[in-house]
Structure 1
């Protein structure tokens, strides 16, 4: 089961604030990108999920910032699905510049249907093998 995926991020100028550091809110965008790319690495996409009526929304997010990132830094973001059960997926994120840990975070993602009601995760996403089953399996 693929539960972790790493991507590279180069800090863009518009992601920095008046002090030349990455604005803290940009990390949330990067974490979403990490989740999207983890799902893609598993052979699926958010578009497929949404077409099947499966919506994933952020229910909780906690971030710790340790060191700043700056314009043109090349960062690595590792996104790990640490638990998937019922209607929730928990992720962990770690942002590094080389060997320096800049930030780490956790999130709880809730599964809802098109009407906004809580819905169970598809079996392939909550089960032991994320490669088995289709998006529409529930």
Structure 2
């Protein structure tokens, strides 16, 4: 399993008139978490796209548990439970400064070949970078 954490500050632009994070901002937080998780593997979205592989979203589910507020420091936990093949499910948990789970969800992306316009397998370099996190200590 691969678990990566990154933090984000809630800016004024993320909130509604009551200072609460607007519900439509959470998918952006999910993307921040997943982008930084990929970067932590030594790869960037940009590098993936330069090989003509795209990662469009297939589905998104979100559970709003508690509110986040202006100036909160949130922890975005990005969780990959299995090495993807074509579909790439990514779970996300967001915690407030009190370490309370305030939001959870899942985005399912798909590896997509921009040249053939068809789904494709995970790029080998990406798979190898992820594989390290899925080996047991006895391997």
TM-score range relative to shorter protein: 0.7 to 0.9
- Cα distance, 1:124 vs structure 2: 4.0
- Cα distance, 1:100 vs structure 2: 1.0
Ranges in structure 1 where 5+ consecutive residues have no aligned partner: 132-138
Alpha-carbon separation, structure 1, partners of 2:47 and 2:132: 15
Q: Secondary structure at the match of 2:68?
A: coil
Post-superposition Cα deviations, 1:73-99, rounded to whole Å, max 9, x if no partner, equal: 011000011233331111110100122
- Cα distance, 1:106 vs structure 2: 1.0
Contact kept, 8 Å, 2:83 with 2:131, in 1: the verdict is no
Q: TM-score, normalised by structure 2?
A: 0.86
Contact kept, 8 Å, 2:35 with 2:44, in 1: the verdict is yes
Q: TM-score, normalised by structure 1?
A: 0.86
Post-superposition Cα deviations, 1:38-68, rounded to whole Å, max 9, x if no partner, equal: 0000000001000011111111111100100
Higher helix share: 2
Alpha-carbon separation, structure 1, partners of 2:50 and 2:125: 16
Structure 2 counterparts to residues 124-135 of structure 1, below 5 A: 124-126=125-127, 129=131
How many positions carry a matched residue from both structures? 130
Corresponding residue of 2:120: 119
